[in-house]
Amino acid sequence: MSHPYPSLQADNTLGLAIHACHRVIAETPQAILNAWREAERNRQPFILLGEGSNVLFLEDFSGTVVINRIKGIHIEQQEDAWKIHVGAGENWHTLVESTLKQGIPGLENLALIPGMAGSAPIQNIGAYGVEFRDVCDYVDVLDLHTGETQRLHREACAFGYRDSIFKHHYQHGYAIVAVGLHLHKEWRPVLTYGDLTRLDAATVTAQEIFNAVCHMRRSKLPDPRVTGNVGSFFKNPLIGREQAEKLTGSYPGMPHYPQANGDVKLAAGWLIDQCQLKGFRVGGAAVHQQQALVLINAERATPQDIIELAKIVRARVGQKFDVWLEPEVRFIGAVGECNAVEAIL
């Protein structure tokens, strides 16, 4: 028997069989506004999605889900930089590819990150030594209460590690409709992580970095079109220097990255791998065989399977290292976003 409500299975990259009361595809800011006003009139919950590449639905959503498909890329060349205005519904990787093809470097380290441009500032997406904040000029935000759009320049976005003001003050009642990027013409390669450290900074091209990043990601991360996943499920933890020194004493090979503020970032995937959890399964959910940081929908997983697996992973790493992982993915309940750490305690 068919379900009376629209399916969101194609709208979340975990491929969970979730439904919502209403599903709206919005190609303009006005379409988002109209859907929000309708939900408000009906006193129904409302959520905005890009590609659903960083969400875990815990259950069916009892309101309106709007799929942001606002398009458009406008490039303005200045004397020392390129300014790029991008609609929030543009695919992020396609944007990275298209800028490189036009001879505009700067986004190559952020290749193959799933999702839409409008989601990039929320998470302050990052990979291989570069974060969204490094290339951000501004973020255009639609205030759904007033119908007015305001432009937040980078300093106002309060970017942190996988964090921003869009997870806090601008989380409810606002919609990101565009982002502005500032890419310097005086390009400097960032070669601090993985296979990139083997490249020669004096001769390397942005295209070579792009190719290397794509190769690394494809070799470790499953394609969500084939195997449901949200990429990195957990954040790389930040710990104090004293605890890091203790751990590196016990585990000399442990990857660790000192930060400017004195904290030390650890590799969550390595910590999980040390607990022999690759391939570990709960129901239809599993820890990916190639990259322990990725939890996958191996076979018709339910949200409960994913949550139970995440609980076990967090507990095992905590018991072994006294380091407590936090999900990077956003957890969505029946009426909206909920606290992901509390859900897997």
How many residues are given for the chain?
345
Partner residues linked to 67 by β-bridges? 25, 49
Active-site residues: which are they?
162, 232, 328
* Mean pLDDT, the chain cut into blocks of 10 residues (345 residues total): 84 96 97 97 96 95 97 97 98 97 97 95 95 98 97 97 94 96 97 92 96 93 92 95 96 93 95 98 97 96 98 98 96 95 94
Q: Say whether 10 sits in a helix, a strand or coil.
A: helix
**DSSP codes, 83-149:** EEEEETTSBHHHHHHHHHHTT--S-GGGTT--SBGGGHHHHT-EETTEEGGGTEEEEEEEETTTTEE
**DSSP codes, 254-265:** --EEE-TTS-EE
Partner residues linked to 286 by β-bridges? 281, 296
267, 255 in Cβ contact below 8 A? yes
Looking at residue 4, its pLDDT comes to: 80
Structural element, H or E, at residue 307: helix 303-321
Looking at residue 193, its pLDDT comes to: 87
Torsion of CA 115, 117, 121, 124, to 10 degrees: 50
Q: What does the buried/exposed string (b/e) look like for 136-158 if buried means 16 or more CB atoms within 10 Å of the residue's CB? A: bbbbbbbebeeeeeeebebeebb
Q: How far apart are CA 125 and CA 114, in angstroms?
A: 10
Looking at residue 194, its pLDDT comes to: 86
Q: How far apart are CA 272 and CA 52, in angstroms?
A: 25
Looking at residue 2, its pLDDT comes to: 61
The residue assigned the tokens 């609980």 is 311
